[in-house]
């Protein structure tokens, strides 16, 4: 409609923008080859389904959420606009900040989002030419592609922060040799770009012109995610070999 909130509604994400892992099929989750992300995504989906079922049990015919997918979209709208800010105690607090939530992410952005006692401010890291897009670093530039893909629906090239992979290696044990073996095993499982393409074909995700924009975006994100996972693992292997 043309109400007071039309401008807000006009910029809400559409179906083609729902590219977080919450909208991945099981085959697409498997193709990511990242168990921590798949595990968390399945848990998130289960919570949304449970909330949807409880809503309909409680409200019956008066339930205002028509479908589970609509509730999933509503959760995505909120989560994808939440920005994490690390506080003095090292805790990452999450906020919904109108206007600031329109800023895109760039790991190389010189601008910084700061939290004061009574306000949030974006501090320019350099002069900004008229018309230039203002980007910030989500989470202060300390989050990896595991979080970026799950919460915001995109993958950043050459991001070596991936906490999901690093935690997976840490769970293998405390010894350097054990962790190195786990990292090398995961790296071998990922293979090269050709292996990734083959994996996508095995999962039946060849995208044709008739298929949705979201599915094409998922495929592109999977390719970028696996490529970046190899970089993270290669970096870890180098680090662990140096320690050994």
The rounded distance, in Å, linking the Cα atoms of 242 and 244 is: 5
Residue with tokens 């607090």: 93
**Length of the chain counted residue by residue:** 244
Q: How far is CA 7 from CA 10, 28, 102, 223, in A?
A: 5, 34, 13, 34
The alpha helices in the chain, defined as continuous H runs, are: 6-10, 26-32, 35-59, 68-79, 145-147, 163-170, 176-190, 193-202, 213-243
The rounded distance, in Å, linking the Cα atoms of 53 and 63 is: 10
204-233: pLDDT as tens digits: 555 555 456 778 888 889 999 999 999 999
168-205: pLDDT as tens digits: 888 888 899 999 999 999 999 888 878 777 777 766 55
Contact 176, 240 (CB under 8 A): yes
Q: What percent of the chain has pLDDT over 70?
A: 93
Which of these ranges, 9-18, 19-28, 197-206, has the smallest mean pLDDT?
Answer: 197-206
Q: How confident is the model at residue 2 (pLDDT cuts 50, 70, 90)?
A: low
Which of these ranges, 9-13, 39-43, 103-107, has the smallest mean pLDDT?
Answer: 9-13
Q: Copy the structure tokens of residue 201.
A: 């074909």
pLDDT of residue 202: 64
The rounded distance, in Å, linking the Cα atoms of 215 and 24 is: 8
The rounded distance, in Å, linking the Cα atoms of 74 and 87 is: 28
Which of these ranges, 107-111, 137-141, 172-176, has the smallest mean pLDDT?
Answer: 137-141
Q: 146 pLDDT exceeds 70?
A: yes
pLDDT of residue 155: 93
pLDDT of residue 239: 92
Contact 238, 36 (CB under 8 A): no
């Amino acid at each position: 409609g043309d109400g007071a909130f039309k401008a807000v509604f006009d910029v809400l994400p559409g179906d083609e923008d729902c590219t977080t892992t919450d909208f991945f099929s099981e085959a697409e989750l498997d193709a990511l080859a990242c168990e921590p992300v798949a595990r968390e995504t399945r848990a998130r989906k289960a919570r949304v389904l449970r909330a949807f079922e409880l809503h309909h049990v409680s409200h019956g015919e008066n339930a205002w959420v028509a479908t589970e997918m609509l509730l999933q979209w509503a959760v995505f709208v909120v989560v994808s606009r939440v920005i994490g800010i690390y506080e003095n105690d090292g805790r990452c607090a999450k906020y919904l900040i109108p206007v600031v939530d329109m800023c895109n992410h760039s790991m190389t952005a010189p601008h910084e989002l700061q939290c004061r006692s009574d306000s949030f401010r974006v501090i320019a890291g350099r002069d900004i030419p008229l018309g230039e897009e203002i980007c910030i670093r989500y989470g202060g530039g300390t989050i990896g592609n595991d979080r970026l893909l799950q919460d915001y629906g995109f993958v950043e090239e050459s991001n070596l922060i991936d906490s999901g992979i690093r935690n997976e290696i840490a769970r293998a044990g405390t010894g350097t040799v054990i962790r190195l073996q786990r990292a090398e095993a995961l790296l071998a499982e990922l293979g090269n770009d050709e292996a990734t393409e083959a994996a996508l074909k095995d999962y039946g995700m060849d995208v044709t012109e008739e298929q949705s924009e979201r599915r094409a975006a998922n495929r592109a994100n999977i390719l970028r995610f696996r490529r970046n996972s190899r970089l993270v693992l290669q970096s870890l292997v180098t680090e662990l070999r140096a320690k050994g």
